[in-house]
Amino acid sequence: MIFNSIDFAIFLPIVFSLYWFVFDKNLKYQNIVIVIASYLFYGWWDWRFLALIFVSSLIDFSVGIKLEKENGKGKRKILLWLSVIVNLGLLGFFKYYNFFLENFISTFSFFGIGFKANTLNIILPVGISFYTFQTLSYTIDVYKEKLKPSHNFISFLAFVSFFPQLVAGPIERATNLLPQFYKRRLFSYKKGVDGIRQIVWGLFKKIVIADNCAKFTNEIFTNYASLDGSTLVVGAILFTFQIYGDFSGYSDIAIGTARLFGFELKQNFAFPYFSRDMAEFWRRWHISLSTWFRDYLYIPLGGSRGKTIMKVRNVFIIFLVSGFWHGANWTFVLWGLLNACYFIPIMLTNRNRNNTDTVALGKIFPTLKELLQMSLTFGLTTFAWVFFRAENITHALSYIKRIFSSNNFLNLIPQTWGGRMLSDFVFTLCSILILMVVEWFGREQQYGIETMFGIKHRYIRWIIYLVLLFYIITFAGSSQDFIYFQF
């Protein structure tokens, strides 16, 4: 089930009504409603995958209880590794088995050694990377005694499978989300309205921005060999906005939906395209994953402590693993490597903490220096997204080579784009401009329209909401799956 579907539009009011108007007096029953709704939501794709999420939940729940009772350091490590191996084993099998096998065969073939093995027709469970990391963080925090284990299996099942953020995040820490299932939730009209507002803004990003951009990026990346360099640059920029609208839109809908049920999820995007350097970008992009790697991989490796060579090694590891997390394709690894190359000079010159505040804080316009910094960061990010979007490394390198080919910047718009295609392109650019203006003026908030620019008159705010809904319904692009469902 996806957020931008009729199924979800029917599903959400039913679950909301049961949760608040039928079982609102009993916390246990409310959590049961969450579990049933979450399993229904996830099983909508393929009910067979419900066994995976249940097994993962059961193992980590049991390991957590065992860790509380066990004092021996050796046995505690065994319990921790049991959780790590099972969870990463399931993730590795479904997501990377064929990738490793194919590369293993290619390596032998390169040295002239014939090696045959059959790949498996494996369907990747939706969101497995997200809930695997969520349950792993629980076990690790219990092991480190940063969190007391859960003794309520229903609450734990609800934590792991919580449907708003189950499929594509945010990747919630147990220290933040799990305790919320222990406390009685009371309906708040203010939080409810705020949740709906964020859902609407997320739908705008996804349906209007991402889905309309997708129509052009798909055509440009598919037919790049026959297009001029300027068009390929436009394609890369449009994908930059497509992936932002798609993923941050999902996060906004997830956070807003959770708020409807009385839960607070962590902010996952903090206006990353207004970043002044790549270090700031990675503090603002997919925050839940970036901080997960920081806390559970980068810091245990030594972080920024020690000799320079160790710092560089740790940065490369964190970005390469982050790239590989996104998918079984060398394009993601190269994307991660490229971002590591962006980040390392900033770290070595001790400038990685220079921009920790909001750009142009309290001002309407940025300075010329800030504008140039944001433009450079955006350009570097856009270049890296080409590898992320490409089908393979050859595709990415050919795409980039054609951009920089001589005498190749001929037309901003392909000559084949006439009539409706041209008008849709202009409309998409205007929609992106609206997005950036709204987010610029809302950049000090959790999301773009959180405070509606300080407008105090309720009727004016509701008019704006209705106009936004009309805009979403009228100018929706062709329905596209969320990009991060494949991860």
- Tell whether 63 and 179 lie within a shared domain: yes
**Inside any domain, residue 393:** yes
Q: Looking at the structure, tell me whether residues 183 and 233 fall in a common domain.
A: no
DSSP 8-state assignment for residue 360 = T
350 located within any domain: no
Q: Domain range spanning residue 198?
A: 191-276+355-486
**Of the residues 187, 214, 234, which one is the last residue of a structural domain?**
187
CB proximity list for 483: less than 8 A, separation 6 or greater: 210, 242, 243, 246, 247
Does 333 map to a domain? no
Three-class SS string for 191-257? HHHHHHHHHHHHHHHHHHHHHHHHHHHHHHHHCHHHCCHHHHHHHHHHHHHHHHHHHHHHHHHHHHH
Last residue of a domain, one of 187, 219, 234: 187
Judgement on whether residues 115 and 181 belong to the same structural domain of the protein: yes
In a domain, 254, yes or no: yes
17 and 81 in a single domain? The answer is yes
Amino acid identity of 81?
W
Q: Indicate the burial class of 65 (C-beta count within 10 angstroms; 0-12, 13-18, 19 or more).
A: middle
Do residues 115 and 104 lie in contact, with contact meaning Cβ atoms separated by under 8 Å? Answer: yes
Q: Quick check: is 134 in a domain?
A: yes
Asked if residue 239 and residue 138 are part of one domain, the reply reads: no
The answer on 220 and 166 residing in a single domain is no
Kindly state whether residue 205 falls inside one of the protein's structural domains. yes
Instruction: Give the HSE-up count for residue 396: Cα atoms under 13 Å, Cβ half-sphere.
Output: 20
Residues 57 and 144 in one domain: yes
**For 451-479, b where at least 16 C-beta lie within 10 A, e where not — what string?**
bbeeeeeeeebeeebeebeeebeebbbee
Same domain assignment for residues 199 and 183: no
* CB distance 347 to 279 below 8 Å: yes
Residues for the chain: how many in total? 487
Residues 18 and 161 in one domain: yes
Q: Is residue 1 part of a domain?
A: no
Cα distance between residue 133 and residue 310, in whole Å: 25
**Domain count within the chain:** 2
Residue 55 makes CB contacts below 8 A (sequence gap 6+) with 86, 90
295: number of Cβ within 10 Å: 15
Query: Which of the following is catalytic: 151, 286, 326, 395?
Result: 326
- Note down pLDDT in tens along the chain; length 487 residues: 788 888 888 999 999 999 999 888 889 999 999 999 999 999 887 888 898 899 999 999 999 999 998 888 898 999 999 999 999 988 888 887 766 666 656 665 655 665 566 665 667 778 888 889 999 999 999 999 999 999 999 999 999 999 999 888 799 999 999 999 999 888 999 999 999 999 999 999 999 999 999 999 999 999 988 888 888 999 999 999 999 999 999 999 999 999 999 999 999 999 999 999 999 999 999 999 999 999 999 999 888 887 889 989 999 999 999 998 888 788 999 999 999 999 999 998 888 888 889 999 989 999 999 999 999 999 999 999 999 999 999 999 999 998 887 556 556 666 556 566 778 888 899 999 999 999 999 999 999 888 876 777 778 888 888 888 888 888 776 667 777 666 6
Q: Are residues 183 and 249 in the same domain?
A: no
In a domain, 348, yes or no: no
Residues 157 and 270 in one domain: no
The gap between the terminal CA atoms of the chain, to the nearest Å, is 16
> Which of residues 140, 168, 187 is at a domain's end?
187
226 and 172 housed in the same domain: no
Residue 288 buriedness (CB in 10 A; 0-12 / 13-18 / 19+): buried
Annotation marks residue 286 as catalytic:
no
